Structure 1
Amino acid sequence: MGSISVSDITGLVLAGGRAQRMGGIDKGLIPFKGLPLIESALERLKPQVNTILINANRNHSIYSSYGYPVLADEDDSFSGPLAGFVAGLKACKTPYLMTVPCDSPLFPLNLAKQLAITLEAEQSKIGYASSKDMAGKVWAQPVFCLMRRDLLDSLTSFLASGERKIDRWFANENAASTLFADDVVFANANTPEELAQLESFTHSH
């Protein structure tokens, strides 16, 4: 992983959204192959980071049962993943924070390693994933990102200005993208149909 090691990274699972397309259910607790989605995220994240945080705005007692600190957004407006980033950066004790959503249970087991390589090669403060679909189109996957802890002031100022778009903040910080060839690994469950499709995948991830 170069000079950025596993011990330098805190992992943050983002489970703070409203999941409106799922009927408002707490997505992290929806069953995937018989277990809550959050468990897939925790299992894949654990070997890649030093410690884990969970960003959630409800069901704190359930999330706390996994043994990791549970962080709520600073307000109850459900203002998106950047609010989760802020909560994670404030609690982060390592030089880097890596974020993953709770509803993409197949994300790469080498995510941290590949993002760290790009971060160092590009001398950037933020590295995020991108994927290429079967038609060759590249899609940004911005909630899968590795960022330096010292970006907290930058992000809080950005949000205080009324901004909410991840891509705009990334552009301000010259974020660097890492392309992953297999777009299936970033598939997420925004609807019950998408969740069923994910469960039907036969894969080696």
Structure 2
Amino acid sequence: MSLPPAVILAGGLSTRMGGGNKGLRLLAGETLISRVLGRLRPQCSAVAVNANGDPDQFEDYDVPVISDGFAGFPGPLAGVLAGMEWAAALGADAVVSVSVDTPFLPLDLVHRLCEARGRSGLAVAASADETGELRDHPTCGLWPVAIAGDLRAALESGLHRTGQFAAAYNPGRAVFDSNPFDPFMNLNTPQDLAEAARYL
């Protein structure tokens, strides 16, 4: 099976990080987007960034920049839709999504998502703690482009919860260990950045 393309979701307002472009925040001297690209590029056929505002912010990273098709920063689902439409234009049947603030993504994420896809073709990443309890991370998922119309209709109806949309398709789950820390850890605040630097 050919490798799917991927979209990095970087279209939010980053209010808890103090505003601005979260992907350009530094973690131990390297931007978050650079760290995510370094882990994702070897796993995918192509990578785009979903971002709103000036696309030249990402000119150093040699990636296409695709914006939300909806006004008002409706959240990551709008970025997933933009990624689906970009992937469909490439002739792909699915697209992987990840968040720009997850710099510890597993190096086998895409392979595991493709293996885990459910009957609908959709799969989400999940992490398991020491008790075996699962936590879904639906912004890290594999999305069939065939449901782009459904997603557009859901967004137009006011649905913004990524997990809620994914759950309607009974997704498969690619489960990863959380020891010594969750590989899908989101860095939302300056304190999160400081904690992540300690893990490095």
Question: How far did residue 89 of structure 1 move?
Answer: 1.0
Match of 1:28 in 2: 23
CA–CA distance in 2 between the matches of 1:40 and 1:186?
Answer: 13
C-alpha RMSD of the superposition: 1.4
Aligned to 1:174, what secondary structure does the other structure show? coil
CA–CA distance in 2 between the matches of 1:171 and 1:90?
Answer: 21
Instruction: State the one-letter code of the partner of 2:69.
Output: E
Instruction: State the one-letter code of the partner of 1:166.
Output: T
Match of 2:32 in 1: 37
Instruction: State the one-letter code of the partner of 1:30.
Output: R
Q: What CA deviation, in whole Å up to 9, does each residue of 1:90-117 have, x standing for no partner?
A: 1112121001111110110100111111
CA–CA distance in 2 between the matches of 1:64 and 1:176?
Answer: 35
Question: How far did residue 184 of structure 1 move?
Answer: 2.1
State, as a whole percentage, how many aligned pairs show the same letter. Answer: 32
User: 2:67 aligned with 1:67, yes or no?
Assistant: no
Instruction: State the one-letter code of the partner of 1:84.
Output: G
Aligned to 1:130, what secondary structure does the other structure show? strand
Question: How far did residue 124 of structure 1 move?
Answer: 2.9
Instruction: State the one-letter code of the partner of 2:2.
Output: S
Match of 2:194 in 1: 196
Calculate the TM-score normalised by the size of structure 1: 0.90
Distance 1:25 1:85, change over 3 A: same
Calculate the TM-score normalised by the size of structure 2: 0.92
Question: How far did residue 76 of structure 1 move?
Answer: 3.2
2:142 pairs with 141, 146, 158, which one?
Answer: 146
Aligned to 2:183, what secondary structure does the other structure show? helix
Aligned to 1:109, what secondary structure does the other structure show? coil
Residues 155-194 of structure 1: pairs in structure 2 closer than 5 A: 155-182=151-178, 183-194=181-192
Question: How far did residue 5 of structure 1 move?
Answer: 2.8
User: 2:105 aligned with 1:107, yes or no?
Assistant: yes
Say whether the 8 Å CA contact 1:188–1:195 is kept in structure 2. Answer: no
Aligned to 1:38, what secondary structure does the other structure show? helix
CA–CA distance in 2 between the matches of 1:57 and 1:50?
Answer: 23
Runs of 5+ unmatched residues, structure 1: none
Aligned to 2:151, what secondary structure does the other structure show? helix
CA–CA distance in 2 between the matches of 1:135 and 1:42?
Answer: 31
Match of 2:42 in 1: 47
Runs of 5+ unmatched residues, structure 2: none
Question: How far did residue 163 of structure 1 move?
Answer: 1.0
Instruction: State the one-letter code of the partner of 1:178.
Output: A
Match of 1:5 in 2: 2
1:137 pairs with 133, 136, 140, which one?
Answer: 133
